[in-house]
Structure 1
Amino acid sequence: MNSLVTRGSLFDDFFKDIAPGFYVRPLHGDNLPSPSQIKVDVKETEGGYTVQAEVPGVAKEDIHVSLEGNVVSLRAEVRQHDEKREGEKVLRSERYFGAVARSFQLPADVDAAQAKAKYDNGVLTLNLPKKVNKAAQRLNIE
């Protein structure tokens, strides 16, 4: 039997409905986001692709993008900053640290030398021009 109820789903919903604000989950108990939680929008034009990826709360220096042929790989290092002040008691913390990554294929190869990336307000925007394939060259027969 493979259908186990994970902590944080059915029981949390039950307590949330019965007594909202009463049930407080343990500190640092949530799992890291799955790769699909880096949400992306991919748009194609004649000359290339535009990718917008949501990576909120991550410093620009902690985002890594790699391009290989038509494969785009995104990786983000998420860091938690715990601060405990005197006279303060933390009741719940949903912030975490770790890495999330996602890779996907585009229909055509990308010209990595001409690619550009911009990060603004939690959204990473990639402008990925298509690699120009030179037309077949005719060989002279001797």
Structure 2
Amino acid sequence: MSIRSYPFSFGTIGSELDTFFSEMEERAESFASHSDSIKTMAKNAIPRITGDFYVDLCETPSEIIITCDLPGIEKEDVSVKLLNETTLQIKTKYDRDVSNTDASGIYHLRERRSGAGERIIRLPVEVIAEGAKASFKNGIMEITLPKSVKDPGVPIEIE
């Protein structure tokens, strides 16, 4: 049995998908250039892979801890919003030039992500905004959300 080598890297598959979806979006926009509502529908129908970021979610007895890797993003370009008791929204904005050339030459490989990112995270339990904390250091954001404590009820004495 021989091992066959492939002429591509599996790390570039995400980049290829980004290019594919961008081309599909451009085609849909040019096809529907006469109607703004169709353009908007086309943009929303094409999934965006660019700008995604990785998230870890950990549950402790008293809180939910979310850690995000956001390399190259400044703290000012990140927003975190608790949409409801079980849904968290994290948005990033990053405007790096994505042309195929720059002052130093022509790119032959480009795997670093650029653009805005958004994650909607469904939390496993209800949390409260009071006491929530977020920290950002060296491209890593950590969000701590206290769990909502449900009142187990008031016991009624039986006579």
> What TM-score, normalized to structure 2?
0.57
Match for residue 49 of structure 1?
64
More helix by share: 2
Secondary structure of the 1:61 match is helix
Q: Deviations over 1:28-55 (max 9, x none)?
A: x6966457x4211111111111111111
- Name structure 2 gaps, 5 residues minimum: 1-5, 10-18, 23-47
Residue 101 (structure 1) aligned with residue 118 (structure 2)? yes
Q: Deviations over 1:34-77 (max 9, x none)?
A: 57x42111111111111111111111011111112111111110
Q: Which amino acid aligns with 2:91?
A: R
* Contact 1:78 1:96 survives alignment (8 Å): no
Match for residue 76 of structure 2?
61
RMSD value over aligned CA atoms? Answer: 3.2
Identity fraction in percent: 26
Match for residue 21 of structure 1?
none
Secondary structure of the 1:78 match is coil
Q: State the alpha-carbon separation in 1 of the partners of residues 91 and 155 from structure 2.
A: 43
* Contact 2:55 2:67 survives alignment (8 Å): yes
Aligned pairs for 1:1-142 within 5 A: 14=7, 33-34=49-50, 37-67=52-82, 68-80=84-96, 85=103, 88-92=104-108, 94=110, 97-137=114-154
* Contact 1:79 1:96 survives alignment (8 Å): no
Asked which structure has the greater RCO (Cα within 8 Å, sep 6+), the reply is 1
> What TM-score, normalized to structure 1?
0.63
Q: State the alpha-carbon separation in 2 of the partners of residues 56 and 48 from structure 1.
A: 25
* Contact 2:71 2:139 survives alignment (8 Å): yes
Q: Which amino acid aligns with 2:134?
A: A
